[in-house]
Each structure stands twice: as structure tokens, then as C-alpha cells.
Amino acid sequence: MRDKFNFDPALADQARALLEAFRVARLRLATAESCTGGMVAAVLTEIAGSSDVVERGFVTYSNEAKAELLGVPLPLIQAKGAVSEEVARAMAEGALKRSRADVAVSITGIAGPSGATPAKPVGLVHLAALTLSGRLVHARHIFPGGRAEVRAASVKEALRLLREAAKV
């Protein structure tokens, strides 16, 4: 019987370093995830002792969940689409408001293989990280590969954005 997931060792190292930097800075974080389905929270909480940094995670795969759990306005989702900079920002804002975290990161994207449009291809991901002081960092990527590769790249980028937003 396995007692842990098998995350890429480099990703686990990145998560471990992030946790240590947040611990030293006395910061707590929250995640708001759509296309990654909780993978950011999973890689962080795989590391023993992460509970002093990881405050909570929201998996908001549906538009209704984004609205109900994070307070993202449905009219915003309808106007801009769930995969947009505006929705990523609103998700991060909602996660910060609905938690006791100092920094929140959000991810919304099209991991594929379906759900794409000419304007929003498979691999399109918007991420946002927001601090209580109002520092906001946004990233837009079109990650190559299939579903697994898009999701893995999104997790790696979310960890990077958390560090950038918190300046740790």
C-alpha cells in the first residue's frame, strides 16, 4: 500500500521551498482551483508540516461553484468566460476574502481534450495571486501537451506566482 502520491521530485522540491519561505515570512495561503482540481493544494499538503502554511483550498470546477464558494459574479463569468483574466482575479479575491490566508492563488483553464474554442485553445490557463496588501500578479499561458501536461505546468506556475506575489 502506497502512503503518498508520486509527484515529480522537482515539483515537490519547489513546493517544499515555497512552504519554507512562507513559514519564515509567517504567511498563510489559500488556493482556488478549477482545471487543476486541487492539485496545487495536494502537492503542498503532501509535505509534512504544511498545515502551518496552507490555510485552505477551494476546488471550484463549475461556474456555480466559482459563484457560490468564491463569490465570483455569474454575470462576469458569462461576459468574460470562466477562463479569463477577470475570472482568475475574482477567484483569487474570493479565496482571500473567504479564508484566513495572507496570499491566495487561483487557476482557471482549458486542460482538454475538449472545451476549447478558436479564441480559447486547449492549454490556455489564467492564474492570479493576490495578497492582503493588494499586490496582484496575473499570468496567462498556453501550455503545450495533453491534459496531464497542462495541469502539471499549471501547478508549477501557481507555486511560482505565490512566491512572486508574496515576494518571498
Q: Where are the alpha helices (DSSP H) in 62-143?
A: 63-70, 74-80, 85-97
* pLDDT score at 1: 45
Q: What angle, rounded to 10 degrees, do the helices at 147-166 and 9-25 form?
A: 20
pLDDT of residue 58: 98
Residue 138: Cβ-neighbour burial (10 angstroms; 0-12, 13-18, 19+): middle
Three cell numbers, residue 127: 492564474
What pLDDT sits at residue 4? Answer: 57
Grid cell listed for 38: 486541487
Q: What are the chain's domains?
A: 28-166 (3.90.950.20)
Give every residue of the chain whose pLDDT is below 50, as ranges: 1
- pLDDT tens per residue across span 60-84: 999 999 999 999 999 999 999 999 9
* pTM of the full structure: 0.95
Question: What local confidence, expressed as pLDDT, does residue 96 receive?
Answer: 98
Contact (CB, 8 A) for 127 and 88: yes
Question: What values do phi and psi take at 121, rounded to 5?
Answer: -75, 165
Q: How many other CB atoms are there within 10 angstroms of residue 157's CB atom?
A: 18
pLDDT computed for residue 7 by the predictor: 79
With cell 493588494, the residue in question is 134
The DSSP line for 129-140 is EEETT--EEEEE
**Grid cell locating 7:** 509527484
Residue 168 CB contacts under 8 Å (≥ 6 apart), including other chains: 18, 21, 22, 24, 25, 27
> How far is it, in rounded angstroms, from Cα 29 to Cα 166?
10
